[in-house]
């Protein structure tokens, strides 16, 4: 498809700031850009049309992870503020967390939270620490001291509000500890999911714990030099069986979001061509030149320039066609990023 290796700059585009969605539309009412990946043709629809755009033989894969209030605000003994973003449990009640500013932290010097303390124990990477909490973080305490981890391009002077707590969560969220929402799923209402099943579409669920690496920009000129943060996921026996049946019978697998796509493709790769249930960590960097072995269509939002997510979509439909579709969307006034409109690539 490409006569030379892709470069990170190949995935750049200019987006007017006014097209970055700051508030989510009511669920189910977003616009939907449909991209035919074979022809490059696009059509403007409403998200409510999605059930009719799916085939009765499709398998629709959702990421049912729950977003936790993963952003914590703390104070150093000298009074300076520190922001912690939880990444993953580190054992013994501790968490790996991104800290800002990180260089002001000292091992063993406790930070004060709205309730309790957070003590940096060990620096594990640039800007990342193992942090112990007293009392240990449970769901109730986290709901008290934590905030909805909205991405930085959604601007809130006073921080996220109650509307964000409800809206930055899918209606089918069930388990896990995501620090960013699987945003393609934010569009669905329970009624639309029921309409999908009424059409005969089978629905399967994975749980991929979305990490902050989803927002990590690609700095390297050659994207293959970028280090992709691995994200933990689980496949139940029922989901592994559903995926295996779809693959063996040649049915189309439609992933809701890049997170579901990454989990399915990783599971197939590490299973040697078979989907096996259980936990794993997805560290598969999907970009043009990567052959997608399972996913036939993708429901997704519009992604940041130079991002690994835009590269993943381009692996499915081709960089030129995806960027042409983005230009079409911008000209038509589509809203971009986490709270924005949707795109169906198939």
Kindly state whether residues 227 and 99 are assigned to the same domain: no
- 257 Rama class: left (phi>0) / alpha (psi -120 to 50) / beta: left
Kindly state whether residues 181 and 225 are assigned to the same domain: yes
Kindly state whether residues 88 and 227 are assigned to the same domain: no
Provide the CATH number for the domain around residue 140. 2.40.10.240
- Strands 342-345 and 31-35 come out as parallel
Kindly state whether residues 218 and 334 are assigned to the same domain: yes
Kindly state whether residues 140 and 184 are assigned to the same domain: no
Which pLDDT value is given to residue 208? Answer: 97
Kindly state whether residues 212 and 278 are assigned to the same domain: yes
Q: Which of 142, 154, 152 is nearest to 113 (CA)?
A: 142
What is the domain count for the chain? 2
d(CA 54, CA 218): 33
- Does the residue 311 lie in any domain? yes
Q: Is 279 helix (H, G, I), strand (E, B) or coil?
A: strand
Residue after which a domain boundary falls, among 114, 147, 180? 147
Kindly state whether residues 16 and 32 are assigned to the same domain: yes
- Does the residue 94 lie in any domain? yes
- Does the residue 159 lie in any domain? no
- Does the residue 173 lie in any domain? yes
Q: Which residues contact 13 (CB under 8 A, 6 or more apart)?
A: 305, 323, 326, 327
Kindly state whether residues 177 and 83 are assigned to the same domain: no
Are 184 and 313 contacting, i.e. CB atoms less than 8 angstroms apart?
no
- Does the residue 157 lie in any domain? no
Q: Running along the chain, 346 residues long, what does each successive block of 10 average in pLDDT?
A: 74 97 97 96 98 98 97 93 95 94 93 96 92 94 94 92 95 95 98 98 98 82 88 96 97 98 96 92 92 96 96 96 98 98 98
Which pLDDT value is given to residue 4? Answer: 61
**Residue-number span of the structural domain to which 89 is assigned:** 71-147
- Does the residue 262 lie in any domain? yes
- Does the residue 300 lie in any domain? yes
Structure tokens at 41: 């043709």
Kindly state whether residues 228 and 241 are assigned to the same domain: yes
Looking at residue 327, the DSSP 8-state letter turns out to be: H
- Does the residue 63 lie in any domain? yes
Question: 39-45 long-range contacts, Cβ below 8 Å, gap at least 24?
Answer: 40/318, 40/320, 40/321, 40/324, 40/325, 42/325, 42/328, 44/332
Residue after which a domain boundary falls, among 104, 119, 147? 147
Which pLDDT value is given to residue 200? Answer: 97
d(CA 342, CA 313): 13
Residue after which a domain boundary falls, among 95, 118, 147? 147
d(CA 117, CA 145): 10
* Cα Rg of the chain, angstroms: 20
């Amino acid at each position: 498809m490409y006569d030379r290796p892709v470069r990170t700059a190949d995935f750049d585009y200019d987006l007017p700031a006014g097209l970055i969605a700051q508030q989510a539309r009511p669920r189910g009412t977003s616009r939907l850009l449909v991209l035919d990946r074979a022809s490059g043709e696009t059509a403007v629809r409403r998200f409510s049309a999605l059930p009719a755009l799916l085939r009765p033989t499709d398998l629709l894969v959702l990421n049912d992870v729950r977003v936790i209030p993963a952003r914590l605000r703390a104070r150093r003994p000298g009074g300076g503020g520190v922001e912690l973003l939880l990444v993953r449990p580190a054992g013994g009640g501790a968490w790996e967390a991104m800290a800002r500013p990180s260089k002001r932290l000292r091992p063993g010097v406790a930070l004060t939270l709205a309730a309790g303390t957070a003590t940096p124990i060990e620096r594990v990477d640039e800007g990342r620490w193992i942090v112990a909490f007293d009392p240990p973080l449970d769901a109730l305490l986290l709901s008290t001291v934590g905030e909805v981890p909205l991405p930085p391009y959604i601007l809130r002077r006073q921080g996220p509000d109650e509307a964000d707590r409800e809206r930055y969560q899918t209606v089918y969220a069930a388990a896990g500890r995501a620090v960013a929402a699987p945003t393609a799923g934010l569009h669905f209402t329970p009624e639309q999911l029921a309409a999908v099943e009424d059409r005969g579409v089978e629905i399967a669920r994975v749980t991929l714990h979305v990490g902050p690496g989803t927002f990590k920009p690609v700095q390297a000129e050659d994207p293959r030099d970028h280090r992709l943060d691995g994200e933990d996921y689980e496949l139940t026996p029922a989901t592994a069986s559903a995926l295996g049946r779809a693959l063996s019978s040649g049915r189309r697998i439609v992933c809701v979001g890049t997170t579901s796509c990454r989990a399915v493709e990783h599971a197939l790769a590490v299973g040697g061509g078979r989907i096996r249930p259980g936990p794993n960590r997805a560290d598969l960097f999907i970009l043009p030149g990567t052959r997608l072995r399972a996913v036939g269509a993708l429901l997704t939002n519009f992604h940041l320039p130079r991002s690994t997510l835009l590269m993943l979509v381009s692996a499915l439909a081709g960089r030129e066609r995806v960027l042409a579709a983005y230009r079409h969307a911008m000209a038509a006034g589509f809203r971009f990023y986490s709270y924005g409109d949707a795109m169906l690539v198939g």
